[in-house]
Amino acid sequence: MDAEIVISMLRIHGLNPANLEWSPHISLAGGDLCYYVNIPPEEVERAAVILKSKGFVQGLMQAR
């Protein structure tokens, strides 16, 4: 699952994303589940740089 990979990658880089069990998820008409990886606000910019450098650009978004 991509969310677990992203969480592990961010933790390896010293960031503190929330555990996947605590993240909200969505499913449309029985399709694949999508998970949001929640990152503390003070770590968002650093996380975005790390994820972009690893090719995880699609789906990258910030809460408003």
pLDDT in tens, 2-60: 888 889 999 999 999 998 876 666 666 666 667 788 899 999 999 999 999 988 877 77
User: How far apart are the C-alpha atoms of 31 and 8, rounded to whole Å?
Assistant: 25
Tokens of 8: 């592990």
**CB neighbourhood size of 16 (10 A):** 13
Please tell me whether the overall predicted TM-score, pTM, comes out greater than 0.85 for this model.
Answer: no
Domain topology for 2-53: Alpha-Beta Plaits (3.30.70)
Q: Residue 61 has what pLDDT? A: 72
Q: Residue 21 has what pLDDT? A: 77
CA distances from 56 to 9, 13, 29, 30, 38 (A): 11, 15, 25, 24, 15
Q: Residue 2 has what pLDDT? A: 81
Q: Residue 44 has what pLDDT? A: 92
Residue boundaries of the structural domains of the chain: 2-53
Tokens of 26: 């969505």
Tokens of 41: 């606000």
